[in-house]
Amino acid sequence: MPKSKRHTIAGKIDSLFIELIENLSLSALSPRTEKMPHLKKAVTKLDCLKIFLNVAWEIKVLDDKRYIALSKTLIEPGKMIGGWHKELQNLPLERKLPL
């Protein structure tokens, strides 16, 4: 990325990647009853990351090849996170709440 964009949109993209990993780790390591808040944040971070990558591509900060490569690498984790989120949402209410 150009130097002029490294501390703006590139910095935001980097921080979103880091926050996504952090929220996924927290969710994975949390007890079942505490996973959902971290997982919701991870879903939000992933969506924001996709938007910022798209913006970076639109304003020509990312070239086509890098944008495609980064976008492709987010497809499978996105499916996995979405499936995990859906699974936790479908748990019976009594299993979602601590006893």
pLDDT of residue 89: 83
Entry pTM: 0.79
What pLDDT is stored for residue 91 in this prediction? 73
What was the pLDDT predicted at 13? Answer: 92
Residue 9's Cβ-side half-sphere holds a number of Cα atoms within 13 Å equal to: 19
pLDDT digit of tens for each residue in the chain (99 aa)?
556 555 688 889 999 999 999 999 999 999 888 889 999 999 999 999 999 999 999 999 889 999 999 999 999 889 999 898 888 888 765 555 554
pLDDT recorded at residue 99: 46
Domains annotated for the chain, with CATH where assigned, are: 3-96 (1.20.1440)
Q: How many CA atoms lie within 13 A of 64 on its CB side?
A: 0
Alpha-carbon span 83 to 67, nearest angstrom: 25
Cβ neighbours of 30 (radius 10 Å): 14
Q: Nearest Cα to 66, choosing from 76, 57, 78?
A: 57
